[in-house]
Amino acid sequence: MSDIWAGLEAAFWLIVTLDGDLVEITARSLHVSLSALIIASCIALPFGTWLAIRRFRYRRTAIAVLNALMGLPPVVVGLIVYLLLSRTGPLGVFGLLFTPTAMIIAQVIIITPLIASITHQAMRELWAEYHDLLISLNTSKRQRIMTLIWDGRRALLTAALAGFGRAIGEVGAIMIVGGNIDHATRVLTTAIALETGKGDFALALGLGFVLIALALAVNILIHSLSQTEQEGRW
Amino acid sequence: MVSMTLSLQKAVVKRRGKTILGPVDLDLKEAQFTIVLGPNGSGKTTLLRVLHGVERLTNGTLSLSKSNEDARQEQAYVFQSPIMLRRTVRANLAYPLELLGRPKSEIETKVQRWAHRIGLEDALERHAPRLSGGEKQKLALARALIREPEVLFLDEPCANLDGRSTREIETLLIAARAQGTRIIMTTHDMGQARRLAYDIVFMLGGRVHEQGAAAGFFDAPKTQEAGAFLNGEIVE
Ligand SMILES: Nc1ncnc2c1ncn2[C@@H]1O[C@H](COP(=O)(O)OP(=O)(O)OP(=O)(O)O)[C@@H](O)[C@H]1O
Ligand SMILES: [Mg+2]
Question: What pLDDT is stored for residue A2 in this prediction?
Answer: 73
Q: Which residue has the higher pLDDT, A7 or A129?
A: A129
Q: Which residues of A touch B151 (CB under 8 A)?
A: none
Q: Which residues of A touch B76 (CB under 8 A)?
A: 136
Question: What pLDDT is stored for residue B30 in this prediction?
Answer: 65
Calculate the CA dihedral of residues A115, A117, A118, A120 and round it to 10 degrees: 120
Asked if B7 contacts B29 with a C-beta cutoff of 8 angstroms, the reply is yes
Q: Is the CB of B20 under 6 A from ligand 1?
A: yes
3-state class (DSSP) for residue B199: strand
Q: Is the CB of B181 under 6 A from ligand 1?
A: no
Nearest atom, ligand 1, residue B48 CA? 18
Q: How far apart are CA B235 and CA B188, in angstroms?
A: 13
Q: Is the pTM of this model over 0.90?
A: no
Atom 18, ligand 1: residue with shortest CA distance: B43
Query: Given CA atoms B59, B63, B68, B72 in this order, what sign does their dihedral have?
Result: negative
DSSP character at residue B222: S
Question: What pLDDT is stored for residue B123 in this prediction?
Answer: 93
Q: Is the CB of B46 under 6 A from ligand 1?
A: yes
Report the complex ipTM: 0.91
Buried b (16+ CB within 10 A) or exposed e, B31-60: bebbbbbbbeebbbbbbbbbbbbbbebeeb
The chain B residue lying nearest A231, using CA atoms, is: B127
- Give A212→chain B minimum CA distance, Å: 34
CATH number attached to the domain at A2-225: 1.10.3720.10
Question: Residue A82 is inside which H or E element, if any?
Answer: helix A74-85
Mean pLDDT of A169-191: 94
Q: Cβ of A227 under 8 Å from any chain B Cβ?
A: no
Q: Is B95 in contact with A137 (Cβ distance < 8 A)?
A: yes
The stretches of chain B forming alpha helices (DSSP H) are 44-52, 68-73, 89-99, 104-117, 133-145, 163-178, 190-196, 214-219, 224-230
The residue type found at B162 is D
List the 89-148 stretch of A: residues with Cβ below 8 A of B: 126, 129-130, 132-133, 135-139, 143, 147
Question: Residue B146 is inside which H or E element, if any?
Answer: none
Q: Is the CB of B16 under 6 A from ligand 1?
A: yes
| CATH, domain B9-85+133-230, list 3.40.50.970, 3.40.50.720, 3.40.109.10, 3.40.50.300 | 3.40.50.300
Question: What pLDDT is stored for residue B6 in this prediction?
Answer: 85
Mean pLDDT of A192-204: 88
Atom 5, ligand 1: residue with shortest CA distance: B15
Q: Which residues of B touch A148 (CB under 8 A)?
A: none
Q: Is A139 in contact with B85 (Cβ distance < 8 A)?
A: no
For chain A, the average pLDDT equals: 89
Name the residue among B72, B88, B129 with its Cβ closest to that of A138: B72
Interface of B with A (CB under 8 A): 52, 54, 69, 72-73, 75-77, 79, 83, 85-88, 95-96, 99, 127, 129-130
Closest CA to A137 of B100, B12, B161, B116: B100
Q: How far apart are CA B25 and CA B22, in angstroms?
A: 8
Beta bridge partners, B26, equal: B8
Mean pLDDT of A147-170: 91
Domain ranges of chain A: 2-225
Atom 16, ligand 1: residue with shortest CA distance: B43
**Residue B236: Cβ within 10 Å count:** 8
**pLDDT tens-digit series, residues B36-68:** 999 999 999 999 999 998 899 999 998 887 776
Question: What pLDDT is stored for residue A228 in this prediction?
Answer: 66
pLDDT class for A38, splitting at 50, 70, 90? very high
The residue type found at B13 is V
pLDDT class for A231, splitting at 50, 70, 90? low
pLDDT at A229 over 90: no
pLDDT class for A222, splitting at 50, 70, 90? confident
Largest Cα span, chain B: 55
Name the residue among B83, B85, B130 with its Cβ closest to that of A132: B83
Atom 2, ligand 1: residue with shortest CA distance: B15
For chain B, the average pLDDT equals: 91
Cis peptide before B96 (omega within 30 of 0): no
Question: What pLDDT is stored for residue B1 in this prediction?
Answer: 46
Question: What pLDDT is stored for residue B76 in this prediction?
Answer: 95
Question: What pLDDT is stored for residue A66 in this prediction?
Answer: 92
Question: Count of alpha carbons within 13 Å of B13, Cβ hemisphere only?
Answer: 24
Mean pLDDT of A167-187: 94
Closest CA to A85 of A98, A77, A97: A97
| Cα distances (Å, whole numbers) of residue A25 to A15, A28, A133, A190, B183 | 12, 5, 50, 10, 68
| Cα distances (Å, whole numbers) of residue A18 to A26, A191, A194, A234, B212 | 11, 17, 20, 36, 85
| Cα distances (Å, whole numbers) of residue A31 to A104, A173, A208 | 9, 16, 17
Q: Is B85 in contact with A130 (Cβ distance < 8 A)?
A: yes
**pLDDT tens-digit series, residues A74-119:** 999 999 999 999 988 899 889 899 999 999 999 999 999 999 999 9
Q: Which residues of B touch A226 (CB under 8 A)?
A: none
**pLDDT tens-digit series, residues A122-147:** 999 999 999 999 999 999 988 998 89
What spacing in Å lies between the alpha carbon of A68 and ligand 1's midpoint?
37
Which residue positions in chain B have pLDDT lower than 50?
1
